[in-house]
Amino acid sequence: MKKVAVIGGGASGLIAAIYAKNKTNQVVILERNSTCGKKLLMTGNGKCNYWNEDQNIEHYHSEEDNLLTKIITEENKQEILHFFASLGIVPKIKNGYYYPFSNQASTIKNVLVKEVEKRKIEIKTNFLVTKIKKENNQFFLFSSEGTLVFDQVIVATGSYACPKTGSTGMGYSFAKSFHHTIISPLPSLVKLIAEKKVNDWQKIRTDVILTLEEEGRKIKEEKGEVQLTADGISGICTFNLSYYIKKGLQQGKKEVVKMNFFPFLKEQNISYEEWFQKQSKLVKNRTIEELLDAILHPKLVQVLLKESGIKSNQLWENLQKKEQDKFIETITAFSLNIVDTYSYEEAQACSGGIPLSEIVLETMESKKQKNLYFVGELLDVVGDCGGYNLSFAWISGMLAGKSCKGEEYDSH
């Protein structure tokens, strides 16, 4: 009989424990909170976006991107979908995003915990592991509750992100104690702070095309809804740029985000100037302000007019060519110098962590220490918004659990 400890009862920890359990293995989840799955309840605005149909490897980011294909495989993706189907989860799929049909994150948490209980996996809550030591092929886990001894350990403690759920980065210390290097963790999937403060547009939500330029070079483009804030911007497409921005700022690079407030024209075979000429003829005797009010939030319109130096009562055809050009530049490439991101408290995930090259990617076992596994956010992998970080948690937890079990997972 092997004794397996799973440190952390979040997404990756729960699935790792389920997969690690067999007729002889004794599996124990050690959770510092009073209940498992605390962070799961917050995902997807409480609906739990647990998967995404588009599992293109480009949605995952790491210092060693080339190694991700060994983890995000077709076989692993299909097994995770089968796993949730075997638990009775019926997905509600919206634009490729998977949610439980109930639209309740508690549904995902509850079925995982019930499966843990069904398999007679012990859960020790309010149990904080403070140190791991290995002697004579056994792991000693120290805590204020005493010392426990195990044959195998899966560390699923999460990153620094969202510390109110119990993620304090303790797992990085465990990894360092076994001679792992740590790529400096940084907040990711987080709000951006701009040099320019615009109080007048705060709380406005609008569809845009966001373009990130680093040192004047285009890095990435995102399309979607942003929330304009007094100190910057937020929203899913903003979060997907934050990975690159925070890393660049740490390296002293200039990070600029340009916003196109007329995304609907991007795919049309017409210039912005032609569109305004046609629109002003179609909607006769309307001022610039009135033309924009039919498309954008009135408060945003005032910000754009002020930024471009255009008076609200002017007609498009009465503007000089240089005024028209300035106005079009303002509404299609509104530039914000990004000076920082919000902190770990606001971040949904972290970049950085244990390098993938220090992990046996088929099993998530440490290359530094046999029978020690690291999963989820502790590893140097961060996904885009849209269920990708949970997808990685499920896959990495599954691989570690299967390795501890030593055989294929039985869904019955």
Residue 349 above 80 pLDDT? yes
pLDDT at residue 407, rounded to an integer: 57
Task: Reply yes or no on whether the pLDDT at 411 is more than 50.
Answer: no
Helix, strand, coil % (nearest 5) of the chain?
35, 25, 35
- Is the pLDDT at 412 greater than 50? The verdict is no
If we measure between CA atoms, which residue out of 300, 368, 404, 284 comes closest to residue 4? Answer: 404
Assess contact for 215 and 253: CB atoms under 8 A: yes
CA distance 272 to 265: 7
Considering the chain, what is the average pLDDT of its residues? 94
Q: Which one of 2.60.40.770, 2.102.10.10, 3.30.360.10, 1.10.8.50 gives the CATH number of domain 192-341?
A: 1.10.8.50
Instruction: Give the rounded percent of residues in the chain with a pLDDT score beyond 70.
Output: 99
pLDDT in tens, 116-143: 999 999 999 999 999 999 999 999 999 9
> Mean of the pLDDT values across residues 290-296?
93
- Is the separation of the CB atoms in 391 and 55 below 8 Å? yes
- In a 10 Å sphere around its CB, with 0-12 CB exposed, 13-18 middle and 19+ buried, how is residue 359 labelled? buried
Residue type, position 219, single letter: I
Are 10 and 30 in contact by the 8 Å Cβ rule? The answer is no
User: pLDDT, tens digit, for every residue of 151-200?
Assistant: 999 999 999 888 888 788 899 999 999 999 999 999 999 999 999 999 99
Give the global pTM: 0.93
Q: Where are the domains of the chain?
A: 3-187+350-405, 192-341
3-state secondary structure of 124: strand
In this predicted structure, what is the pLDDT of residue 42?
85
Is the predicted pLDDT of residue 279 greater than 80, yes or no? yes
Termini Cα distance of the chain: 21
> What pLDDT, on a 0 to 100 scale, did the predictor assign at position 1?
84
Cβ proximity of 352 and 376 under 8 Å: no
Rg (CA), the chain: 25
Predicted confidence at residue 12, as pLDDT, reads 98
Q: What percent of the chain has pLDDT over 90?
A: 90
Contact, 31 vs 55, CB < 8 A?
Answer: no
Q: Three-state SS for 63?
A: coil
> Do residues 227 and 381 touch, judged by C-beta distance below 8 A?
no
CB 353 within 8 Å of CB 185? yes
Q: What is the pLDDT of residue 164?
A: 82
Both tokens of 168, joined, read: 């304090």
Fold of 3-187+350-405: FAD/NAD(P)-binding domain (3.50.50)
Query: Would you say residue 239 has pLDDT above 70?
Result: yes
Are the CB atoms for 343 and 187 separated by under 8 Å? Answer: yes
The helix (H) or strand (E) run that includes residue 232 is: strand 232-234
The number of angstroms, rounded, from the C-alpha of 4 to the middle of its chain's C-alpha atoms is 29
pLDDT in tens, 203-236: 999 999 999 999 999 999 999 999 999 999 999 9
CB 3 within 8 A of CB 149: yes
Rounded CA separation 374/368 (Å) = 11
10: left (phi > 0), else alpha (psi -120 to 50), else beta?
beta
Q: Indicate the DSSP class of residue 398.
A: H
Would you say the CATH fold of 192-341 matches that of 3-187+350-405? no
- Identify the pLDDT of residue 387: 95
Long-range contacts of 166-175 (CB under 8 A, 24+ apart): 166/32, 166/33, 166/38, 166/39, 167/39, 167/377, 170/129, 170/130, 171/7, 171/8, 171/374, 171/378, 172/353, 172/354, 172/378, 174/7, 174/129, 174/132, 175/354, 175/366, 175/374, 175/378
Residues 20-39, mean pLDDT to the nearest whole number:
94
